[in-house]
Amino acid sequence: MMQADLPELMTLRDVLKRLKGKVGRTALLAHLAKVPTFFGDPTHGRLGRRYLFTAAQYRTLIASLAAPPVPREGRSEHAWPSEERAQARALVLIDEMLGRKRKAGRTAKRHRSNGAMISR
């Protein structure tokens, strides 16, 4: 696609017409929310609630759609449990394997009306 083929400014509707059959509205909006920049270049602009795209932003958007997804910093992409949950689950499994049962009187329960601790 040549520079002359792209208008100076496009709306979301214009971009969707160009991507018809490749990317739908919902997927494009999700992608824009997830990938606001691609290698330092913006994939779109905003004017209030309206999405606007320059020719350069449109090319960046196309490149970001073609690239494999990159995990965001600080987010885990796997479904491993937290360390505390894993340890608690392991203790329960060990107790089950050894045939131990927890005694009902050992746990504290909260009173529903005021949240005070009541031991049984």
Per residue in 33-64, pLDDT (tens digit) is 999 999 999 999 999 999 999 999 999 999 99
**What was the pLDDT predicted at 6?**
87
Which burial class, exposed, middle or buried, applies to 93 when counting CB atoms under 10 A from its CB (0-12, 13-18, 19+)? exposed
Q: What's the CA gap between 28 and 50, in Å, rounded?
A: 14
Above 80 in pLDDT, residue 12?
A: yes
At residue 11, what are phi and psi to the nearest 5 degrees? -95, 175
Rounded to whole angstroms, what are the CA distances from 54 to 12, 22, 46, 115?
Answer: 11, 20, 11, 57
**What was the pLDDT predicted at 94?**
86
- pLDDT-derived band at 1 (thresholds 50, 70, 90) equals very low
Give the three-class secondary structure for 33: helix
